[in-house]
A and B are shown apart, each in its own frame.
Chain A
Amino acid sequence: MFRYLVRRLLLALPSLLAISVVLFGVLALAPGDPFSDLATDPSIPSSVAAALRTKFGLDDPLPIRYLHWLAAMLHGDWGFSFASRINVSTLILQRLPTTLAVIGASQILALAIAVPVGVYAGVRPYSIFDQIASSLALIGFSLPPFFTGLVFILVFSVSLRWLPFVYRTDIGGSGLTLYWAYIRQAIMPVAVLGLFQGAAWTRFVRASVLDVARLDYVTTARAKGLSERVVVTKHIVRNALIPVVTLVALQMPIIFGGAIITEQIFRVPGIGSLLISAILANDTPVIMAVTFVFACLVILFNLIADLLYGWLDPRISYR
């Protein structure tokens, strides 16, 4: 197990390096650079601009610039935000917990919907419940999160006035009222993201249960006289959820995309909304760092899924 973990970690490193090359490549190929404004500024002589470029290594060959950048990133020197005048790493560390909390809560909601509904529909294929659940799942996964978010705001904030639609971090009060205020403002972002993912996963779970339910060992379990409940929970679900883990891991980039949109709609102060505001403010160091953090998170969750996969399915040996 330990050796597998080490090997898997070593395999994740080249992917991280490749992603950093892609990111750096995109940035290097793009026209313009942080000092391009200097060239057009008449108050700065061209010799000063050239000296600045040499000092910061902008005229070095690409591979050397890449190595400098990589070394700085590894040292934790992620640069300095042009817009908010603080270190990028501080900024990201402030914002990351909110994003992870919203994503985590929505994934729990998605699983709480998808597993029971998917299993029930998959065990009774083409029943009325299955038809209704499948239609709702297809509708839910055709509704883009940005539209659901707006409809939620329209219904629950504008019409009914039940929930606030701007996420605040400076809520006063203490104790239970404070917690309640936090939960209330998180309901809509979590629900938007969770329902969208839940709809997609319901389809996966249903298809997977449908595949497993007609295998011979399930018939054997029924023939032994086991109750339907035991057959479903102990025999079908355990095996049906194994491929779902992989699919969930493959969906990770989409989930982060959804989180960016949800954070933007509800003004949740996470790294997704940080990315959008950085792009709108031309804040290159922040854009690079946030994209890289998203890439690391995707790889981390893929790694976790791989480990889970081996734990859930003993037939996969850790070699």
Chain B
Amino acid sequence: MAGSTPASPTADVAAVVRPTQGRRVTPAREAWRRFRRHRLALGSAAILSAMILALLLGPLIWPVPINAIDFAAQLQGPSLAHPLGSDDLGQDLLARMIYGGRISMSVGIAATLVAVIVGVVIGAIAGTARSAIDMGLMWLCDLFLSLPQLPLLLLIIYLFEASLRKVVGQQFGTFILIVAVIGGFRWMSIARLVRAQFFSLREKEFVEAARALGASTFRQVVHHILPNAVSPVIVAGTIEVANAIIAESTLSFLGLGFPPDIPSWGRILYDAKDYLDVAPHWALVAGGAIFLAVMTINYIGDGLRDALDPRRVI
């Protein structure tokens, strides 16, 4: 069957032929070669990079304050003064979208980092340890999977927000809380993936060889098993970023995420929803940005899955 032909022989040949030219085929280079074949993923990567660049450089090019109130310019559509229009207080939407994008993207990435770290650690422990610890951790995993996530997220934020804000400050408190709860409810799938990888990898010959050479369990895990288990984690992590952005927007959209003075994309959409009939551009800009970010990340995840799966010939 064509699908099960390993792609490694070609990679090995290239590695043997070319080392003198200084173009060693590293796994990353090979993944990039395969990723480029997925046109939609490549296009998505370009769009997402452009968006991130715009968010990073935006405040330099468009130095309009996000909270400059101008009642003369209430709820206006796109114009030269306000390229994306203005909101009910006459604040510039472009500036708010740039600020909000920075918040939404950083929440997405930070929450995913939390989820990946927790997931990899728990999955690695469950995959290395035998019986009792593994069973306990998997029971925990199943328990988290059957928790009603959104109600619990809302409950935790409702209960802890005020006190955390007092401790670490208004803006940072909300950020830490949202990142922690979103990440804390999303590690399960990654833990399961890592555990499954560990189960198959720890019986492989190269791990046995390392064990025979006297490598400690820690060394086996960190140097031999983990590097080989990393590609499905990259794919799952990429898609988690999209899920985390949706989760943050959902909380803000329900009015329980970021406060109005920190306009994340979801918060802008929440503020816009009461003016749908008079200023539809407001909601469409915010929702469109969330949609575009989530869709491009999902496509990149699809492309990475094809690129990082060695059994697929591309």
Contacts and interface: CB of A to CB of B under 8 A. Distances in A.
Interface of A: 15, 18-19, 22-23, 26-27, 30-32, 135, 138-139, 141-144, 146-147, 150-151, 153-154, 158, 214, 250, 253-254, 256-257, 260-261, 264-265, 275-276, 279-280, 287, 290-291, 294-295, 297-299, 302
12 contacts: A15-B143, A22-B147, A26-B152, A26-B159, A30-B159, A139-B295, A147-B287, A253-B149, A254-B149, A261-B250, A279-B158, A298-B147
Nearest to A155: B280
Interface of B: 1, 40, 142-143, 145-152, 154-156, 158-160, 162-163, 242, 246, 249-250, 253-256, 266, 269, 272-273, 276-277, 280, 283-284, 287, 290-291, 294-295, 298-299, 302
B283 A154 contact: yes
A158 B145 contact: no
A295 B276 contact: no
Contacts of B294: 142-144
Contacts of A31: 159-160, 162-163
A144 B148 contact: no
B146 A253 contact: yes
A302 B146 contact: yes
Contact of B147 (A141, A147, A151, A253): A253
A135 B154 CA distance: 32
Task: List the 5 closest A-B pairs by CB distance, nearest first.
Answer: A257-B150, A30-B159, A294-B148, A147-B287, A142-B295
A139 B287 CA distance: 13
Contacts of B283: 150, 154
A176 B115 CA distance: 51
A83 to B, nearest CB: 14
A18 B143 contact: yes
A19 B143 CA distance: 8
Contacts of A27: 155, 159
Given A30-B159, A142-B298, A143-B291, A261 B143 contact: no
A27 B152 CA distance: 11
A298 B147 CA distance: 7
Contacts of A298: 146-148
Nearest to A147: B287
Nearest to A294: B148
Contact of A138 (B145, B159, B163, B298): B298
A264 B251 CA distance: 12
B42 to A, nearest CB: 15
Contacts of A299: 146
Contacts of A23: 152, 155
Contacts of B154: 275-276, 279
B19 to A, nearest CB: 37
A146 B269 contact: yes
A158 B146 contact: no
A299 B147 CA distance: 8
Nearest to A30: B159
Given A141-B298, A142-B295, A144-B291, A256 B150 contact: yes
A19 B147 CA distance: 7
A88 to B, nearest CB: 15
Contacts of B255: 276, 280
A271 B1 CA distance: 51
A290 B246 contact: no
Contacts of B156: 26
A99 B272 CA distance: 26
Nearest to B245: A144
A250 B147 CA distance: 11
Contact of B254 (A22, A154, A264): A264
A265 B249 CA distance: 14
Given A138-B298, A253-B148, A295-B148, A150 B276 contact: yes
A27 B160 CA distance: 10
A89 to B, nearest CB: 17
Contact of B290 (A144, A154, A250, A256): A144
Contacts of B273: 150, 265
A144 B291 CA distance: 7
A147 B276 contact: no
Contact of A151 (B152, B250, B277, B287): B287
Most chain A beta-carbon neighbours within 10 Å: one of B143, B151, B249, B298: B151
Nearest to B159: A30
A9 to B, nearest CB: 15
Contact of A147 (B40, B143, B146, B269): B269
Contacts of A146: 249-250, 253, 266, 269, 287
A280 to B, nearest CB: 7
Nearest to B185: A253
B145 to A, nearest CB: 7
Given A22-B147, A146-B250, 15 more contacts: A15-B143, A31-B163, A142-B242, A142-B294, A144-B290, A146-B253, A146-B269, A158-B280, A253-B150, A254-B149, A256-B148, A265-B273, A287-B158, A294-B151, A302-B146
